[in-house]
Amino acid sequence: MGNSRHTSHRSLKAVILDWAGTTVDYGCMAPAAVFIETFRQHGVSVTMAQARAPMGKFKKDHIREITQMEPVAAQWRAVHGKPCSEADVEAMYHDFLPLQIAVIAQYADVIPGVVETIADFRERGLKIGSTTGYTRAIMDVLAPLAAQHGYAPDAAVCADEVPAARPYPWMCYRNQIELNVYPSEVCVKIGDTVPDIDEGLNAGMWTIGVVKCGNEIGLSEPEIAQLPYAELDARLKAGHKHLRYAGAHYTVDNLSEVPPLINAINERLASGERP
C-alpha cells in the first residue's frame, strides 16, 4: 500500500521569478549604474564588468565582493591608505540604498513579453512568486510601478527579509510558504544570474536562466539593436553556456520562451524525474 501521507506531484505549481533583468529593467541596468556611482563617491573607479560580476546577490554582499577584486582592492589601498574594511562596506551599502531608491523608477519598465507570459502561466494554474537582491525599501518603490505596467506577482520576497540571501535557498522557501506550494520540485526558479540559478538549485527546484534581456548581455534594447549580428550571436552563445555551466536545467533569451519549457518539465515530472 502507498503512504497516504504523501501526495504524488506530477506537474509544476509555481514559477519563482527574479526581478531586474528577468521581468523588469531590460539589461539589468539599475543596479550596475548605482554600484559604479557608489564606488565613485568613495574615490574608486569600478568598471561595468566589475560592477556586474556579482549580480544577483544581496546588495551588501555584492559591494563586498567588488571590494575583494584585486584591481579594486589595490585602488582602494592607494586612495585610502589601507585595505577596505567591513566598516567601509557598511558605509558604501548605506550610501547605495538611497541612490538605488532615487533612480529605481527609471528602471521599472516591464520587459517586453513578460505580461503576456505571466498571463500564460496563470492560465496554466501556476502561482507567481519572486525573489530579488533588492531590499524591501527598494521593492516598495519598484513593485507598485511594475504593477502599473501590468506585472504583479503573487509573492515578492526580498534579500533583507531572510537570514541569508542568494545563493542560499531561503527566499525560495519563503515563496513556497507564502504561495502554499510544495514540494520544491513543483517549482521552477527563473533568473538572469548565476546566483539565481544557485538559489533555485539549492532549494531543490528546476531552474531556467534568462540571457538576452539580463545581466549576461547587460545591454538595453536599443544597445542590443545596434550590435552586429555576429557579435550579438557570440555574446548570446557565451551567456547561455555560462548559465548552463552554472547548472541551469534550461536557458532562454527571455521569459516569453519559457511556456514550452513548462510542458517539458511537466513531462519530466510525470515520468518520475526530479531536479
Q: Which residues are catalytic?
A: 18, 59
Q: What is the 3 state secondary structure string of the chain?
A: CCCCCCCCCCCCCEEEECCECCCECCCCHHHHHHHHHHHHHCCCCCCHHHHHCCCCCCHHHHHHHHHCCHHHHHHHHHHHCCCCCHHHHHHHHHHHHHHHHHHHHHHCCECCCHHHHHHHHHHCCCEEEEECCCCHHHHHHHHHHHHHCCCCCCCCECHHHCCCCCCCCHHHHHHHHHHCCCCHHHEEEEECCHHHHHHHHHCCCEEEEECCCCCCCCCCHHHHHHCCHHHHHHHHHHHHHHHHHCCCCEEECCHHHCHHHHHHHHHHHHCCCCC
